[in-house]
Amino acid sequence: MRKQKRKKTPGKALITAVTCGLIALIIIATGLVLFIQRPSRPTERIPGPEKPVTITRPLIMGEEILIKGCLYELGVPKEKVSIKGRTVRVTMVRAPSEARILKAFSALEQEDGVKVGMEDSSRLIVTMNGHTWVVVFSAARAQMETRARVAIIVDDMGQDMGIARKLAAIDADLTFAVLPHGQYSSDVARYLHKAGRQVLLHLPMEGNGKNPGPGAIYGTTAPDEAAGILREALDLVPHAQGVNNHMGSVATQNRAIMDALFSVIKERGIFFVDSLTTDNSVCRAAAEEIGLPFEARDVFLDNEQTTEYISGQIEDLVAAALRHGEAIGICHPHQATYRTLAREVPRLGDIGIEVVKVSELVDEPDM
């Protein structure tokens, strides 16, 4: 005889229904909480004729790492890369072609908002995150045997910190002569010394009619007074390793004054460079007699402030150096001079002309 199925009692059915309902409510409530607490993301709304669509644009992280990664693809060793701010300089024996550079950096353009382009054959511009990176490629110059040496002295420093920074950044061992009473004399001297540049005192002396400025020595100045003026001036120009004259075509003809000045310079253990503003200078004879390290200027580079003129004078300086083995040029912190030096002087090594501190060309007295 078959057994009949047992019917569920009304009480058990009710309990089962309530339990299922509670489980459903818990699942729904949990989903709502998770949705509300989900972190919001930056969005960008794209306008269009239909209902706007919202998309998310992630930020590009590690900009410098991305740049370095592309350079790695180019086969650039890390020691050939220098980065300052967002300017990247790459120096190789042979700079890569424009096509190779663009190919290595093309992967960056897959990121939204990134632009890559060549400004010229050696200058790449990368824009990302609203930042602009400049990657400069240059070929390392082959070392050429030195044929001659030149020193270039930039006079009249101490009036402007900006031009001091620009000139000190030129890739050449320039020498700087600082006026003692300029607005920024001490600051400029310290900055140039810290930048590894040689500093001289640019001593104001009477010339032919022009005002030599404060703290000048005149042809009528007593020798003892002139010596005191020099000591004070040296104290105002920190790290001065030598002295040259600012103007001075009158004062440098006065043997008594120059003897007094050279006694102080020898006492300080430094040297003198004659700017040679007159053919009648007595400086060389006075220096030889006292046994003072001494040298004189060969070429003024910027009596005219045009690029063409200054470039021609640099050629004259090179010609003098090739004739005699070395030569000294003097110039001033004009904008035209800065632009010409920045362009021309780093190229001198390509023709075997070494730019050195002026102290390396100063003649030591015979002992």
| Residue ranges per structural domain of the chain | 63-139, 148-360
Print pLDDT tens along the chain (367 aa).
434 444 444 455 545 554 555 555 555 555 444 444 444 444 444 444 444 443 334 445 588 988 898 998 888 888 889 998 889 999 887 778 888 898 889 888 888 889 999 987 788 999 988 899 999 988 766 567 899 999 999 999 999 999 999 999 999 999 999 999 999 999 999 999 999 999 999 999 999 989 999 999 999 999 999 999 999 999 999 999 999 999 999 999 999 999 999 999 999 999 999 999 999 999 999 999 999 999 999 999 999 999 999 999 999 999 999 999 999 999 999 999 999 999 999 899 989 999 999 999 998 886 5
Q: Which two tokens stand for residue 297?
A: 């200027």
Specify the CATH number for 148-360; select among 3.20.20.80, 3.20.20.370, 3.40.50.970, 3.30.70.141.
3.20.20.370
At 78 the pLDDT is 86
Q: Under 8 Å CB-to-CB from 187, ≥6 apart: which residues?
A: 161
Q: CB–CB of 201/157 below 8 Å?
A: no
Find, among 89, 301, 283, the residue nearest to 175 by Cα. 301
At 51 the pLDDT is 46
Q: Under 8 Å CB-to-CB from 177, ≥6 apart: which residues?
A: 153, 154, 155, 156, 157, 199, 200, 201, 202, 244, 246
Element containing residue 65 per DSSP (H, E): helix 63-73
For the CA atoms of 106, 111, 117, 122, the dihedral, rounded to the nearest 10 degrees, stands at -60
Find, among 310, 272, 308, 306, the residue nearest to 288 by Cα. 272
Write the single-letter amino acid at 356.
V
Q: CB–CB of 326/148 below 8 Å?
A: yes
Specify the CATH number for 63-139; select among 3.40.190, 3.40.50, 3.30.460, 1.10.287.
3.30.460
At 17 the pLDDT is 52
Name the one residue in this structure whose structure tokens are 């007159």. Answer: 278
Domain 63-139 and domain 148-360 have a common topology: no
Q: CB–CB of 230/259 below 8 Å?
A: no
At 234 the pLDDT is 98
Element containing residue 294 per DSSP (H, E): strand 294-296
At 143 the pLDDT is 60
Question: Whole-angstrom Cα distance, residue 286 to residue 272?
Answer: 11
Q: CB–CB of 204/213 below 8 Å?
A: yes
At 23 the pLDDT is 58
Question: Whole-angstrom Cα distance, residue 257 to residue 260?
Answer: 5
At 108 the pLDDT is 87
At 299 the pLDDT is 98
Name the one residue in this structure whose structure tokens are 């000048």. Answer: 216
Question: Whole-angstrom Cα distance, residue 18 to residue 92?
Answer: 79
Q: What angle is formed at CA 213 by the lines to CA 208 and CA 214, rounded to 5 degrees? A: 135
